[in-house]
Amino acid sequence: MLRFSICLLAAAALVGCNSNRPPTTPELSGPTSARPLDTLTFTVTSADPDGDEVAYKFIWGDTSSVAWSAEYLSGQAVTRQHWYADTGDYVIRVRARDAHGLEAGDYDSLVVQVRLAPPGTPGRPEGPAYCTTGVRYTFKATGSHPQAESLWFQFDWNGEVGNWLGPVAPESSLFEEHVFDTAGTYSLKVRAKDDLELMSDWSEALVVTVVAIPGGPPQNLAIEAASDTTVRLSWQEPVEGPPNAYQVLFKPSGGGGYALVTETEPTVLTYEHNPSGGTGWYELAARYGATVYEDTLPVTTAPVHTGTITIGEVNGPDNPGGGWDRFTGLCRSSPMNDSLYADSVDLYVTDFAQGSAGPVYYLASPDTAVLDSSARVPAGRWRRTKLTQPLADEQLPLPAAGDTGWVQPVGVTPVPATIGCLTQDGYFALIKVTQVRIANEDLRAQAWFQLVRGLRLIQH
């Protein structure tokens, strides 16, 4: 009886030892395609029916070392990363074992193909099949990559190969604008490359028929001051329709030909130019493809020059007032014995003494003439003008309107003396006194007038 009980206890112990069960066959997932040196992430899971923790052993299929991992909770997803240095087909195997060292009866595997795969050949470019010269059109390229790499695209415009454009994500599209300069039939193709410079073949061609359209010059070029040292040009589009671009050209005072300043978009009908203190002439052209149509009416900031004029001392026999015509820019002398002349006078000559004997002649603002005890000027709406002392360099910009350099009256000595003027209505000008002839009771001068109101550029 005792022997029987011992046997039963031994059998029970044997059954208890054999109750541990192995974990389930591991399930392995991850990429099956890659390039050399790509970092690949794999996930494995295995469940232990007894709830034991599970360890894993990855056999990567290359020369990497093989070892069991730490133990993880049953059913927990475990990730591992690996990369392959060379191309080839690699079989990854993974085994599982529980905390008691009991391994699963089988393993899972995954084949990874490591290749230097180029992008797929893009589809035929998409865009209009009928175009006109001088108009901007948009074309689309779409491609893919077997390894989901970013793509660059290059267009072939009938033998004219463009730059690489991108990158864009795989399965995404890239849009490129193009202008056809001449009429004809064009064959458009596109190819792709990835960041390893692996290129696809050229795509099928999109055939585009291009016809010519007439172009013409822009209309109504105008100029104004954008600030007191910069100008704003404005214009209207040609009657033939919008061009590819507008070209702004500038020829400086003092010599030289027209040079391209900028080329604007076809929707832009204004441009601000900073001539860096210089003056000159502006022309505008409309470009349709390779053909350029110039505006035939240039505009200018070059001051209008008036040759030698005579202005008398206010008590002398000649006209004592000097003023500029706002349309022509020319300077002329005017009488001041009647207020009807007030709109024609921007400065006058006086010696601030009875008679005209001097010894110093001054230029003064007309609105002060009625206060000049030596003058015989009636009250009226005489203009107010600011003046500078004689300038050291008559080619430089005049002082800004609020500058302390504006004074009046100004003594004209010695001669020649070049004096800046700022009129009441905002025009800048120069008067250069070349002679003071006290015996004749007058002075002789040349003048320059900036027809762009508010612009203090006076280079001539």
Q: Is the pLDDT of residue 442 over 80?
A: yes
Burial 224-251 (b: 16+ CB within 10 A, else e): ebbebbebebebebbeebbbbbbbbbbb
- 224-280 pLDDT, tens digit per residue, is 999 999 999 999 999 888 888 999 999 999 888 999 999 999 999 999 999 999 999
The pLDDT score that the predictor gives to residue 289 is 76
Residues 80 and 101 in one domain: yes
Residues 199 and 236 in one domain: no
CA terminus-to-terminus distance, the chain: 136
Host H or E run for residue 3: helix 2-17
Host H or E run for residue 11: helix 2-17
Residues 399 and 309 in one domain: yes
Q: Is the pLDDT of residue 159 over 60?
A: yes
Residues 94 and 198 in one domain: no
Residues 413 and 346 in one domain: yes
The pLDDT score that the predictor gives to residue 15 is 45
Q: Is the pLDDT of residue 416 over 90?
A: yes
Asked whether residue 11 is assigned to any structural domain, the reply reads no
Q: What's the rounded mean pLDDT across residues 105-116? A: 92
The pLDDT score that the predictor gives to residue 77 is 96
Q: How confident is the model at residue 18 (pLDDT cuts 50, 70, 90)?
A: low
Query: Domain boundary at 233, 268, 300, which?
Result: 300
Q: What's the rounded mean pLDDT across residues 420-428? A: 98
Q: Which residues on neighbouring strands pair with residue 55, listed in sequence order?
A: 97
User: Which CATH number fits the domain that encloses residue 39?
Assistant: 2.60.40.10
Residues 425 and 347 in one domain: yes
pTM value?
0.60
